[in-house]
Structure 1
Amino acid sequence: MKSLLILLFFPIVLYAQVPYDAVESLISEKQFAKAEKLIAPYVTSNTKDLKAIELLGDAHGHQKNWDEAIKNYKRLKELSPSNANYHYKYGGALGMKALNVNKFKALGIIGDVKEAFLEAAELDAKHIDTRWALVELYMSLPGIVGGSKKKSLKYANELEQLSLVDGYLAKGYIYEYDDEPKLAETYYKKAIEVGGSINCFEKLTNLYESQQQPDKAISNIEVAQKKHKRNALHYQIGKVCADYNVQLDKGERCLMRYIENYSAADGVPKEWAYYRLAQIYKHKNDKNKAIEYIDKALEIRSDFKQALREKSTILSK
């Protein structure tokens, strides 16, 4: 009888082992479908396990299965209505769904998105992500459905009280969105002074590029390189030089250095550096060198569409 009981209950004991760590590991490795498959049966049998439901919602969200993510996050906020993060995730999933449906359906969702974010902000006066969401939401919505620069600035000011760098970045975002580049530049520079992260430098670089100011963009990336010593920034300099046909010798040197020191951790595949070198030599009217480097890119990836188009352009000159 004792043996029979062990046989009966042993599978249950195994099944009851909560696979949190394994699911979190799969999500961090971007194996979202596997994470979903592992946690879903557990959630089916443990319908009030908040962490498991959240992990399932996260797995769905990463796969852009917004309806399932919404269902799980809604369940979370119903089970734990005072948890700001659950309201934030629910609003975020709703917002992503709104971006992927037609405008009429989206209008019906926006009110719930706003309500969820406002509830999260009310529940947690220090919830930075929620305030960022509200900054972006109020700036992106048309005034007729509740968009408001004034309200966006209100949450940017709240962010500034919680984190100077986030507040400055939020204001930079608002003024860039509102086509006030001088003010955006001022706040992005403030963010660099206070925080100085790669993200801060990227925001200012992107602003300069959007304003067709490549020399300023290059100078900003060079400052970031001195501070952070990242090989990927060599590629970024080369990219700007190639895109805007400026400082071509500098762009060439930086791309060569990027290739020489390349590792997978740099993010941008090596073939893109060869592609940018081909562009630079095209600008220099050195057709042979341009073809040499575009062929190097295509040796790595024969279906590299941009490189194939660039080769046709080079050969046609």
Structure 2
Amino acid sequence: MGWTSSLWRQKPAISRDGRMVRGSKSWLAVVIAASTVVAATNLKQEAGLEAGRHAYETSDYAKAVQVLQAAAAQDPKNGDVQLLLAKSYLELQERDAAIKSAEKAVAIDPQNSIYHEWLGRAYGDKADHASWFSAISLAKKTRKEFETAVQLDEKNFSARQVLIEFDCSAPGLVGGGEEKARPQIKQLAEMDAAEGHYAE
């Protein structure tokens, strides 16, 4: 019989009078050990993210990438790690890698406004250095991500600002146009007069 069959023959861990019965201590030890491993892993992952953030904030972008790549390998479903990787890659002008990391962040949490904003920034940076034909497609993606970021969080001022900047500078061919920027500027001013004045 398999190992599962032995589980059905195990005595209850706690007797009716509340005393611990034989064999329960070993199971308790296993649970404690497993919990310790999980806690240690979580701490290691958090330490990796914080180390990467520190490297990024001190402009050591190459180190940030190195640390964050290791953190991503440990925790591939951590969107914040992928976001910081994307930002670090952008500083290093590694645009394709930045897009890939930002896309991973969005895939992990499609409802995160900041992730969409930075995916838009990555597309936009790539568009600025691409051929005219490729730039058109990338610019359209850029605006779509900025717009999505604003829709997900209307208080994301930086996303709204870059959307306004895009509409004011990009031609209608790629979705831009000052007429599109005006409603955004008005709404920004209603939420924050200083931000709205800056956008104007």
TM over 0.5: yes
Aligned length: 162
The within-5 A match list for 1:126-145 is 126-145=155-174
Q: Write the distance in 1 (CA, Å) between the matches of 2:173 and 2:103.
A: 27
RCO comparison, higher one (Cα < 8 Å, 6+) = 2
Unaligned 5+ segments in structure 2 are 1-36
Partner of 1:84: 113
Task: Please state whether the residue corresponding to 1:17 is helix, strand or coil.
Answer: helix
The within-5 A match list for 1:190-209 is none
The reply to whether residue 109 of structure 1 matches residue 138 of structure 2 is yes
The reply to whether residue 125 of structure 1 matches residue 154 of structure 2 is yes
The structure 1 segments of at least 4 consecutive aligned residues displaced by more than 3 Å after TM superposition are: 13-16
Q: Write the distance in 1 (CA, Å) between the matches of 2:171 and 2:41.
A: 53
Partner of 1:25: 54
Contact 1:131 1:158 in 2 (8 A): no
Contact 1:61 1:69 in 2 (8 A): yes
The reply to whether residue 167 of structure 1 matches residue 196 of structure 2 is yes
Residue 23 of structure 1 and its aligned partner are, at CA, apart by 1.4
Q: Let me know the Cα RMSD of the aligned residues.
A: 2.1
Residue 20 of structure 1 and its aligned partner are, at CA, apart by 2.1
Partner of 1:226: none
Q: Write the distance in 2 (CA, Å) between the matches of 1:72 and 1:100.
A: 19
Q: Write the distance in 1 (CA, Å) between the matches of 2:59 and 2:174.
A: 36
Deviations 1:115-172 (A, max 9, x none): 111111111111111111111111111233322111111111111112111111111x
Contact 2:83 2:118 in 1 (8 A): no
Q: Write the distance in 2 (CA, Å) between the matches of 1:28 and 1:108.
A: 32
Partner of 1:155: 184
Q: Specify which of 63, 67, 73 is matched with residue 92 of structure 2.
A: 63
Q: Write the distance in 2 (CA, Å) between the matches of 1:27 and 1:34.
A: 8
The within-5 A match list for 1:1-317 is 17-18=44-45, 19-171=48-200
Calculate percent identity across the aligned residue pairs.
25
Q: Please, what TM-score do these two structures have when normalized by structure 2? A: 0.75
